[in-house]
Homo-oligomer: A and B are copies of this chain.
Amino acid sequence: MAHQHAARRGDTDPAPLAERLRSRGLRVTHQRERVLAAVAALEHATPEAIVVRLRGEAAAGSTPPDASTVYRTLELLESLGLVWHTHLGTGAPVYHAAEHPHLHVVCQSCGAIASADPALLDAAAERLAADLGFTVDVGHVALSGTCAACRERAASEQT
């Protein structure tokens, strides 16, 4: 192992992916690299959004990864600890790169997604651990509620 470059900031680090794959005897494929890059690029990536993005990125003549490959790859990447997924209420799960955990807050009216500091839940997490023996996974938490804009709109539309 000669190349031990420190992780770069603006680039997608191919290093951890290749390493982890090889250490498991798995193949480093173009598709896997592209899916991981797409998740990192899209803030809150649904599987479908990833498929669409990859389809757009695919150079003319090249075949974009199939949806089934994207699903399989996301599962693999998650098992490798490189991405996470969260369910934000209805429907599609969203994936994000597992760099810095953050808390998701979803507006039930408009679907807007905000990110917040996971530390917000530390106190609640400790209480749950003490009371129920339940370890809360802060990174997977999605809080739902109403954003400021929708709250005002709802108030003014009130008959």
- Residues in A lying within 8 Å of B, measured CB to CB: 87, 89-90, 93, 105, 107-108, 114, 116, 120-121, 123-124, 127-128, 131-137, 140-148, 151
Which of A89, A135, A141 has most B Cβ within 10 Å?
Answer: A135
Q: Are B132 and A136 in contact (CB under 8 A)?
A: no
> What residue in chain B is nearest A147 (Cβ atoms)?
B134
List of B residues within 8 angstroms of A105 by Cβ? 128, 132, 134, 136
> What residue in chain B is nearest A139 (Cβ atoms)?
B144
* Chain A to chain B contacts (Cβ below 8 Å), 10 pairs: A87-B90, A105-B132, A105-B136, A108-B140, A114-B134, A120-B124, A134-B146, A140-B144, A141-B144, A142-B142
Per the bound structure, the CA–CA distance linking A141 and B108 in Å amounts to: 11
Partner of A116, one of B93, B121, B132, B146: B132
Per the bound structure, the CA–CA distance linking A124 and B87 in Å amounts to: 20
Least Cβ–Cβ distance between A133 and chain B, in angstroms: 3
Partner of A134, one of B107, B121, B137: B107
**Known contacts A87-B89, A120-B127, A134-B114; is-contact A143 B145 (Cβ 8 Å):** no
Per the bound structure, the CA–CA distance linking A134 and B128 in Å amounts to: 23
Per the bound structure, the CA–CA distance linking A142 and B140 in Å amounts to: 10
Other A-B pairs beyond A120-B128, A123-B123, A132-B147, 11, CB < 8 Å: A87-B89, A107-B134, A116-B132, A120-B123, A121-B121, A121-B143, A123-B124, A128-B143, A133-B148, A134-B148, A142-B142
